[in-house]
């Protein structure tokens, strides 16, 4: 999920911060908050030494006084809003605020003074209500102040890296790096071969983005004035009321819904052999979370698996919501920033299905490699180390935690021993939530080991789609893809969904590739109305999309057909949106989704231009 505004201590005025919702495609629902058309193109850069020149003379008088800087900032921004330049000010604000925080620290301003200034900004411009602003700013104070204080980049360079090239195109040597491959030639690509009829199969369950909300309250008001609703502390009067099993409007998963889901899964557990879970366990109340609460969510999910599915191995990866504050994944070696509190909880939860040798990697970086069956390996990558919302990466983004270099080593061992690999990650690596060079390095890794990596699995977006990888010579030959699975949470405007895959089974010569899958969902409206939730069949891609297989070539063919056949695309969009009955998706909405599907590496519009916008 993208929480860029919150990571900037709520100081980046982006439309997406209002709902804290994922931004994959232009989802045209009348209830969704839509982004402004177009992004800023030519922002004015405020250098730290010339900020006061942008202020009126009446504001300069006491500007050097620490307690006047807050009012100067508010006055400047108020003028910007009156001038009608508001939609173009996001980059300016980023640079201005980073400059101001750095300037205040140089003047020995206290943490309390800085927090007060940013909180005042948040409230004054109604980025969120006063309750959220007051709580969320302190959540990030330690991270942001440490990073700004130790930053070797200028404010413009920092904002260019985090916001993107539309803000600035900085020279940042730490952002440009390459993993090292072993001195072994790449084997000739081997096209996938479907298994023989009646060959053994395995099945596995995919859950993602559960977002359990301990404070969900049946009958609480919806909508509310905060980014997350349906909670016990919502103090607004509206006609809507949260249902027992969830609500479409910015609400997370109540325990009643998860109890229904796991009870149902227990009743059909003979239909799958193992489980993958691709991250995001806690709720979206990012302004009021603590380490204790985050660990409690990990423990609660572990108990659900233990109580309802005790004999099913569970293989997980780390989501960006697991830590507190959200997105904060410091690299090893930063003083006072030990991630053992979180990785230790995960090692305890995951350890029952992992060898002891794998737990060292879990405790170090939240990663692991495990072989559930001879010839088959699952590798779990913590790609929060590519998360553009992770401020710690501004200090050093060169393969944080050595994750990708470790990944290359694991893949080489798998190639040498003839193993096939499933890759689990939370964030789809081609999204703009992933740093460019991390994403491009991963793309190269997938290219090099295309015969070894047979499938990839992501979460994060809460929608249902795929992400393609093409050969990095011509970008025309599809050689891999990732399944982006829809969420269990209803946040926002989704029905809860789970997926069961069929894969080539455990026998000599197995490809271990995914052969098919079925989605199942709860119709939230009916469940709340009747009080008897049912988990029913949603769709099968081979039948609904007329696909002969689920290999990379098949998905590439589907994308081409989705461009030409709008009836087929609207069916795809219905599943993309988890059966929520919104408005159809046409024009830019359709193009954006199709571009997301072909952009397996981030910040590379040429992929969209080549495949979708010729």
Q: Which residues are annotated as a binding site for Zn(2+)?
A: 209, 211, 280, 320, 426, 460, 462
* 227 within 8 A of 130, measured Cβ to Cβ: no
**431 Cβ contact partners less than 8 Å away, ≥ 6 residues apart:** 24, 460, 461, 596, 599, 602
Q: Is 88 helix (H, G, I), strand (E, B) or coil?
A: helix
Distance CA(63)–CA(291), nearest Å, equals 38
Residues facing residue 514 across a β-bridge: 503
Omega cis (within 30) before 492 = yes
Beta strands in 445-491 (DSSP E): 453-458, 465-470, 478-484
What does 534-585 look like in DSSP terms, one character per residue? -EEEEE-HHHHTT-S--SHHHHHHHHHHHHH-HHHHHHHHHHHTTT------
* 591 within 8 A of 38, measured Cβ to Cβ: no
Cβ–Cβ contacts within 10 Å for residue 80, how many? 19
Residues in the chain: 614
- Main-chain phi, psi angles of 483, to 5 degrees: -80, 125
Place of tokens 């200034």: 117
Write a three-state SS string for 392-456.
HHHCCCCCHHHHHHHHHHHHHHHHHHCCEEEEECCCCCCCCCECHHHHHHHHHHHHHCCCCEEEE
* 458 within 8 A of 435, measured Cβ to Cβ: no
**Percent helix, percent strand, percent coil in the chain, to nearest 5:** 40, 15, 45
Binding-site positions read 209, 211, 280, 320, 426, 460, 462
DSSP label of 366: S
């Amino acid at each position: 999920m993208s929480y860029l505004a919150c990571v900037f201590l709520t100081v980046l005025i982006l439309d997406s911060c209002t709902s804290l919702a994922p931004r994959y495609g232009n989802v045209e629902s009348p209830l969704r908050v839509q982004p402004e058309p177009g992004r800023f193109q030519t922002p004015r850069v405020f250098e730290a030494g010339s900020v006061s020149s942008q202020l009126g003379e009446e504001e300069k008088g006491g500007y050097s006084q620490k307690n006047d800087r807050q009012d100067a900032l508010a006055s400047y921004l108020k003028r910007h809003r009156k001038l009608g330049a508001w939609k173009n000010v996001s980059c300016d604000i980023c640079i201005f605020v980073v400059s101001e925080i750095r300037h205040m620290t140089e003047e020995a301003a206290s943490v309390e003074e800085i927090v007060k200034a940013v909180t005042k900004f948040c409230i004054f411009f109604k980025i969120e209500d006063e309750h959220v602003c007051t709580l969320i700013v302190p959540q990030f104070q330690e991270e942001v102040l440490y990073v700004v204080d130790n930053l070797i980049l200028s404010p413009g360079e920092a904002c260019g890296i985090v916001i993107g090239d539309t803000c600035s195109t900085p020279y940042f040597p730490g952002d440009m790096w390459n993993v090292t491959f072993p001195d072994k030639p790449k084997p000739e690509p081997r096209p996938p071969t479907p298994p023989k009829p009646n060959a053994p199969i395995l099945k596995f369950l995919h859950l993602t983005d559960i977002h359990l909300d301990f404070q969900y309250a049946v009958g609480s008001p919806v909508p509310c004035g905060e980014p997350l609703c349906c909670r016990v502390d919502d103090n607004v009067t509206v006609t809507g009321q949260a249902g027992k099993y969830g609500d479409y409007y910015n609400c997370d998963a109540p325990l009643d819904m998860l109890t229904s889901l796991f009870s149902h899964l227990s009743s059909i557990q003979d239909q799958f052999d193992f489980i993958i879970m691709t991250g995001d366990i806690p709720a979206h109340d990012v302004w009021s979370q603590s380490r204790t609460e985050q660990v409690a969510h990990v423990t609660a999910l572990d108990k659900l698996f233990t109580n309802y599915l005790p004999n099913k191995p569970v293989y997980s990866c780390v989501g960006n919501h697991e830590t507190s504050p959200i997105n904060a994944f410091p690299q090893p070696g930063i003083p006072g920033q030990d991630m053992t509190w979180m990785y230790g909880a995960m090692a305890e939860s995951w350890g029952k299905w992992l060898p002891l040798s794998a737990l060292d990697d879990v405790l170090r970086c939240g990663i692991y490699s495990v072989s559930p069956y001879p010839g088959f390996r699952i590798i779990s990558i913590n790609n929060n180390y590519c998360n553009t919302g992770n401020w710690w990466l501004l200090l050093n983004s060169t393969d944080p935690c050595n994750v990708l270099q470790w990944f290359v080593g694991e893949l080489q061992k798998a190639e040498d021993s003839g193993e096939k690999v499933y890759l689990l990650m939370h964030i789809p690596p081609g999204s703009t939530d992933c740093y460019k060079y991390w994403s491009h390095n991963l793309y190269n890794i997938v290219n090099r080991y295309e015969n070894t990596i047979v499938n990839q699995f992501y979460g994060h977006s809460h929608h249902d789609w795929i992400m393609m990888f093409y050969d990095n010579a011509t970008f025309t030959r599809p050689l891999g893809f990732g399944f982006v699975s829809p969420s269990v949470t209803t946040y926002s405007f989704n029905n809860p969904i789970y997926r069961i895959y069929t894969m080539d089974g455990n026998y000599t010569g197995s490809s271990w590739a995914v052969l098919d899958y079925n989605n199942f969902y709860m119709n939230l409206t009916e469940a709340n109305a009747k009080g008897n939730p049912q988990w029913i069949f949603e769709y099968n891609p081979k039948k609904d999309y007329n696909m002969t297989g689920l290999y990379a070539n098949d998905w590439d063919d589907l994308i081409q057909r989705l461009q030409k056949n709008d009836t087929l695309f609207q069916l795809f969009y219905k599943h993309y949106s988890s059966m929520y009955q919104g408005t159809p998706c046409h024009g830019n909405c359709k193009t954006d989704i199709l571009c997301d599907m072909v952009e397996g590496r981030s910040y590379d519009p040429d992929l969209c231009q080549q495949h979708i916008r010729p």
